[in-house]
C-alpha cells in the first residue's frame, strides 16, 4: 500500500515540478519583455489551449529522458493519474495565481486553472503513453 502511494506521489511530483518550472520561466520571460516595453497580447482561447497542451507534451517528452519509466505500475492507477493529476495541478496553479494577485504580483496565463490543467494533461498524456 505504501509503495502504491509513493508511486503516485513521485509521478505527481515530476509533473508538478515541471509545471512550476514552466510557470517560473513564463514569469521571467514576461518580466524581461515588459522591461523592453513589450506588452503581452491576449491570445485566442483555442490557440492558447493548444499552446499549453503542446508545451506540456514537450515537457513530458523531456521528462522521459530523466524518468523513462512511470513510477505508477498499475494500469488503472495510471489512468486515474491521467485524469486526476491535471485537475490537482490546475487547482494548485490557480491557488498560486490567487496568492500572487493577493500580493499585488503579476500573474501569467499558467496561473489560471484551465491553462495549468491543459499543460498538465499534455505532460500526463505523454508520460501515460510513452513511459513504460
> pLDDT digit of tens for each residue in the chain (132 aa)?
888 899 899 999 999 999 999 988 988 988 888 888 888 888 899 999 999 999 999 999 999 999 999 999 999 999 999 999 999 999 999 999 999 999 998 888 999 999 999 999 999 999 999 997
**pTM, two decimal places:** 0.90
Q: Say how far apart CA 63 and CA 57 lie, in whole Å.
A: 10
Q: Choose among 13, 6, 15, 9: nearest CA to 126.
A: 15
> What nine digits make up the cell of 12?
505527481
Those residues whose C-beta lies under 8 Å from the C-beta of residue 21, and which sit 6 or more positions away, are: 59
- Cell matching residue 79: 489512468
**Ramachandran sector of residue 126 (left: φ over 0; alpha: ψ -120 to 50; beta: rest):** alpha
Residue appearing with cell numbers 508520460: 127
Domain extent listing, the chain = 2-130
Note whether 54 and 118 are within 8 A (CB). Answer: no
Amino acid at each position: 500500500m505504501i509503495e502504491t502511494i509513493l508511486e503516485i506521489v513521485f509521478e505527481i511530483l515530476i509533473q508538478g515540478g515541471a509545471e512550476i518550472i514552466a510557470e517560473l520561466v513564463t514569469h521571467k520571460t514576461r518580466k524581461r519583455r515588459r522591461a523592453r516595453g513589450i506588452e503581452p497580447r491576449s491570445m485566442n482561447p483555442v490557440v492558447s489551449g493548444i499552446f499549453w497542451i503542446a508545451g506540456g507534451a514537450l515537457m513530458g517528452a523531456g521528462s522521459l529522458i530523466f524518468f523513462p519509466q512511470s513510477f505508477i505500475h498499475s494500469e488503472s492507477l495510471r489512468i486515474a493519474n491521467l485524469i486526476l493529476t491535471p485537475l490537482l495541478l490546475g487547482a494548485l496553479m490557480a491557488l498560486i495565481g490567487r496568492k500572487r494577485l493577493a500580493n499585488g504580483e503579476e500573474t501569467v496565463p499558467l496561473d489560471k486553472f484551465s491553462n495549468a490543467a491543459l499543460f498538465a494533461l499534455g505532460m500526463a498524456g505523454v508520460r501515460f503513453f510513452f513511459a513504460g
